[in-house]
Amino acid sequence: MHREIERKFLVRNDGWRGKAEPVLFRQGYIARTVDRTVRIRVAGNQGMITVKVKVGPISRHEFEYEIPLHDANELLNSLAPVEIIEKYRYTFSECGHVWEIDEFLGANSGLVIAEVELQSEEEEVELPVWVGEEVSKISKYFNASLVQSPYGSWNHNEKQP
């Protein structure tokens, strides 16, 4: 078990590009409740099952296990195509933290989110210049929400920046 505390931001510009190679992520939620999600992910050629249990506003207990790639693909294939999120993940260090940039594809194309993982909810983070508005607590940006209401379906005025 891993305590996951992360902050999410929109990006202001393309200043993050070129800092890492993309890895294709395909993922979906095979079940969820108000405070728990069960996610299947294929990251590159690795399969994962992840249970997240919410324990605070930006904190979750995360239980992640590698599973056979074939199983992960079968589980994803048991979902409807619209339930699957595809994105490129770019991972690199900057300003003393590891940043993960998700560039969404398909129905969420156009959305780019930067995430940084913290050791505590109060930890200070120096923000790179390309980091924009914080969206940590805005549920429409959660991956689980993007399945039901993809970025491409939002009103133009809702879209940032």
Binding site for a copy of itself (CB under 8 A): 1, 30-33, 36-38, 49, 51, 53, 61, 63, 65, 67, 70-71, 74-75, 78
In 3D space, the residue among 66, 70, 101, 75 whose CA is nearest the CA of residue 87 turns out to be 101
Strands (E), 33-146: 36-43, 46-54, 59-67, 84-94, 97-104, 112-118, 131-134
Name the minimum Å distance from CB 65 to a copy of itself: 6
158: its two tokens: 């809702």
Kindly compute the dihedral angle of the four CA atoms of residues 130, 133, 135, 138, in this order, to the nearest 10 degrees.
Answer: -150
Active-site residue 141, yes or no?
A: no
Size of the chain, expressed as the number of residues it contains: 161
Name the minimum Å distance from CB 117 to a copy of itself: 19
Which of 1/119 has CB closer to a copy of itself? 1
Name the minimum Å distance from CB 37 to a copy of itself: 7
Instruction: Choose, from 29, 65, 88, 141, the residue flagged as catalytic.
Output: 29
Which of 65/158 has CB closer to a copy of itself? 65
Residues marked as catalytic: 29
